[in-house]
Protein backbone atom coordinates (compact mmCIF):
# COMPACT_ATOMS: atom_id res chain seq x y z
CA UNK A 1 0.00 0.00 0.00
CA UNK A 2 2.81 2.41 0.87
CA UNK A 3 4.59 1.66 -2.43
CA UNK A 4 1.44 2.47 -4.43
CA UNK A 5 1.29 5.88 -2.72
CA UNK A 6 4.88 6.51 -3.83
CA UNK A 7 4.06 5.66 -7.44
CA UNK A 8 0.89 7.75 -7.34
CA UNK A 9 2.84 10.64 -5.80
CA UNK A 10 5.44 10.41 -8.59
CA UNK A 11 2.69 10.48 -11.23
CA UNK A 12 1.06 13.51 -9.63
CA UNK A 13 4.43 15.23 -9.33
CA UNK A 14 4.82 14.70 -13.08
CA UNK A 15 1.37 16.29 -13.41
CA UNK A 16 2.62 19.38 -11.63
CA UNK A 17 5.58 19.56 -14.00
CA UNK A 18 3.15 19.17 -16.91
CA UNK A 19 1.04 22.03 -15.47
CA UNK A 20 4.11 24.28 -15.24
CA UNK A 21 5.03 23.39 -18.83
CA UNK A 22 1.46 24.14 -19.99
CA UNK A 23 1.52 27.54 -18.24
CA UNK A 24 4.80 28.48 -19.89
CA UNK A 25 3.59 27.24 -23.27
CA UNK A 26 0.30 29.15 -22.97
CA UNK A 27 2.08 32.33 -21.94
CA UNK A 28 4.59 32.02 -24.77
CA UNK A 29 1.88 31.41 -27.34
CA UNK A 30 -0.17 34.31 -26.04
CA UNK A 31 2.81 36.69 -26.24
CA UNK A 32 3.60 35.45 -29.75
CA UNK A 33 0.01 35.95 -30.89
CA UNK A 34 -0.20 39.46 -29.44
CA UNK A 35 3.21 40.50 -30.73
CA UNK A 36 2.70 39.40 -34.34
CA UNK A 37 1.27 41.64 -37.05
CA UNK A 38 -2.45 41.13 -37.62
CA UNK A 39 -3.17 39.54 -41.02
CA UNK A 40 -6.63 39.79 -42.53
CA UNK A 41 -8.31 36.57 -43.53
CA UNK A 42 -7.41 35.50 -47.04
CA UNK A 43 -4.30 37.64 -47.31
CA UNK A 44 -0.89 36.04 -47.54
CA UNK A 45 2.08 38.10 -46.49
CA UNK A 46 5.39 37.44 -48.17
CA UNK A 47 8.71 37.23 -46.44
CA UNK A 48 11.32 39.88 -47.11
CA UNK A 49 13.24 39.15 -50.29
CA UNK A 50 16.67 37.73 -49.66
CA UNK A 51 19.80 39.02 -51.31
CA UNK A 52 20.80 35.47 -52.30
CA UNK A 53 20.30 34.46 -55.93
CA UNK A 54 18.62 31.13 -55.13
CA UNK A 55 16.17 32.59 -52.59
CA UNK A 56 12.45 32.11 -53.13
CA UNK A 57 9.74 34.20 -51.52
CA UNK A 58 7.66 31.80 -49.40
CA UNK A 59 4.29 32.92 -48.04
CA UNK A 60 4.11 33.07 -44.22
CA UNK A 61 1.89 30.56 -42.50
CA UNK A 62 -1.06 32.20 -40.81
CA UNK A 63 -1.16 31.63 -37.05
CA UNK A 64 -3.64 28.99 -35.96
CA UNK A 65 -4.59 30.88 -32.83
CA UNK A 66 -7.94 29.32 -31.98
CA UNK A 67 -6.68 25.74 -32.14
CA UNK A 68 -3.54 26.62 -30.18
CA UNK A 69 -5.53 28.39 -27.45
CA UNK A 70 -7.92 25.44 -27.08
CA UNK A 71 -5.10 22.90 -26.87
CA UNK A 72 -3.18 24.95 -24.33
CA UNK A 73 -6.35 25.54 -22.26
CA UNK A 74 -7.05 21.81 -22.09
CA UNK A 75 -3.42 21.14 -21.15
CA UNK A 76 -3.62 23.85 -18.48
CA UNK A 77 -6.80 22.39 -16.95
CA UNK A 78 -5.36 18.85 -16.98
CA UNK A 79 -2.20 20.06 -15.25
CA UNK A 80 -4.19 21.99 -12.64
CA UNK A 81 -6.35 18.98 -11.75
CA UNK A 82 -3.32 16.70 -11.45
CA UNK A 83 -1.53 19.30 -9.32
CA UNK A 84 -4.43 19.57 -6.89
CA UNK A 85 -4.64 15.79 -6.60
CA UNK A 86 -0.92 15.71 -5.79
CA UNK A 87 -1.39 18.34 -3.10
CA UNK A 88 -4.11 16.25 -1.43
CA UNK A 89 -1.92 13.16 -1.53
CA UNK A 90 0.96 15.14 -0.07
CA UNK A 91 -1.18 16.19 2.87
CA UNK A 92 -2.34 12.62 3.48
CA UNK A 93 1.26 11.41 3.50
CA UNK A 94 2.04 13.52 6.60
CA UNK A 95 0.00 11.13 8.80
CA UNK A 96 2.10 8.38 10.39
CA UNK A 97 1.40 5.52 12.77
CA UNK A 98 3.88 3.94 15.19
CA UNK A 99 3.25 0.69 17.08
CA UNK A 100 4.43 -0.33 20.57
CA UNK A 101 5.57 3.15 21.57
CA UNK A 102 7.39 3.43 24.90
CA UNK A 103 7.18 6.81 26.65
CA UNK A 104 10.76 7.11 27.92
CA UNK A 105 10.54 10.55 29.53
CA UNK A 106 7.99 13.30 30.07
CA UNK A 107 9.81 16.65 29.93
CA UNK A 108 6.70 18.87 29.97
CA UNK A 109 2.97 18.57 29.20
CA UNK A 110 3.63 18.57 25.44
CA UNK A 111 7.31 17.59 25.36
CA UNK A 112 8.25 13.88 25.43
CA UNK A 113 10.98 11.37 24.66
CA UNK A 114 9.37 8.31 23.05
CA UNK A 115 10.77 5.14 21.55
CA UNK A 116 8.68 3.37 18.91
CA UNK A 117 9.24 -0.36 18.43
CA UNK A 118 12.68 -1.13 16.91
CA UNK A 119 13.61 2.55 16.55
CA UNK A 120 15.91 4.90 18.40
CA UNK A 121 14.35 7.32 20.92
CA UNK A 122 12.70 10.44 19.47
CA UNK A 123 12.28 13.83 21.10
CA UNK A 124 8.78 15.04 20.18
CA UNK A 125 6.80 18.18 20.80
CA UNK A 126 3.04 17.93 20.55
CA UNK A 127 0.84 20.71 19.16
CA UNK A 128 -1.24 22.78 21.57
CA UNK A 129 -4.52 21.18 20.40
CA UNK A 130 -3.24 17.67 21.25
CA UNK A 131 -4.50 16.51 24.66
CA UNK A 132 -2.66 13.46 26.02
CA UNK A 133 -2.18 11.97 29.47
CA UNK A 134 1.07 10.10 29.01
CA UNK A 135 3.41 9.21 31.87
CA UNK A 136 6.99 7.99 32.01
CA UNK A 137 7.21 4.24 31.44
CA UNK A 138 3.84 3.97 29.70
CA UNK A 139 3.55 1.79 26.58
CA UNK A 140 1.16 2.73 23.77
CA UNK A 141 -0.28 0.04 21.52
CA UNK A 142 -0.33 2.47 18.61
CA UNK A 143 0.08 6.19 18.08
CA UNK A 144 -1.11 8.03 14.96
CA UNK A 145 -0.05 11.62 14.41
CA UNK A 146 0.07 14.26 11.71
CA UNK A 147 3.33 16.14 11.23
CA UNK A 148 2.77 19.89 11.32
CA UNK A 149 5.17 22.83 11.33
CA UNK A 150 7.30 22.36 14.47
CA UNK A 151 4.97 19.94 16.26
CA UNK A 152 3.04 16.69 15.99
CA UNK A 153 -0.77 16.68 16.14
CA UNK A 154 -2.03 13.50 17.82
CA UNK A 155 -4.78 11.92 15.72
CA UNK A 156 -5.27 8.88 17.97
CA UNK A 157 -3.48 6.61 20.42
CA UNK A 158 -4.33 3.47 22.39
CA UNK A 159 -2.68 2.54 25.65
CA UNK A 160 -1.69 -1.05 26.30
CA UNK A 161 -3.89 -2.54 28.99
CA UNK A 162 -2.04 -2.94 32.31
CA UNK A 163 -1.88 -6.43 33.80
CA UNK A 164 -2.58 -8.10 30.49
CA UNK A 165 -3.40 -11.78 30.88
CA UNK A 166 -0.87 -14.25 29.58
CA UNK A 167 -2.67 -17.22 28.06
CA UNK A 168 0.40 -19.46 28.11
CA UNK A 169 0.10 -22.58 30.24
CA UNK A 170 3.05 -23.36 32.43
CA UNK A 171 3.84 -26.98 33.22
CA UNK A 172 5.44 -27.79 36.57
pLDDT in tens, 22-36: 777 777 777 776 665
Which ranges in the chain belong to alpha helices (H)? Answer: 2-35, 65-92
**pLDDT of amino acid 171:** 53
pLDDT in tens, 10-19: 777 777 777 7
Smallest CA-to-CA distance from 69 within 60, 77, 58 is with 77
Q: Which residues contact 100 (CB under 8 A, 6 or more apart)?
A: 116, 117, 139, 140, 141, 142
pTM of the model: 0.44
DSSP β-ladder status, 139-148 and 122-125:
unpaired
pLDDT at 5 over 70: no
Smallest CA-to-CA distance from 4 within 100, 89, 130 is with 89
Residue 56, sorted as left (phi over 0), alpha (psi -120 to 50) or beta, turns out to be: beta
Amino acid sequence: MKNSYGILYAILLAGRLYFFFACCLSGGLLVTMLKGKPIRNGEKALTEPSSELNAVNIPEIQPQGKRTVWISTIALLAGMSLGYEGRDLQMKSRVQTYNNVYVAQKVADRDFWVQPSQMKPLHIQLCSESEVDWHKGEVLDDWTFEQKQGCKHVVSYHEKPQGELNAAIQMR
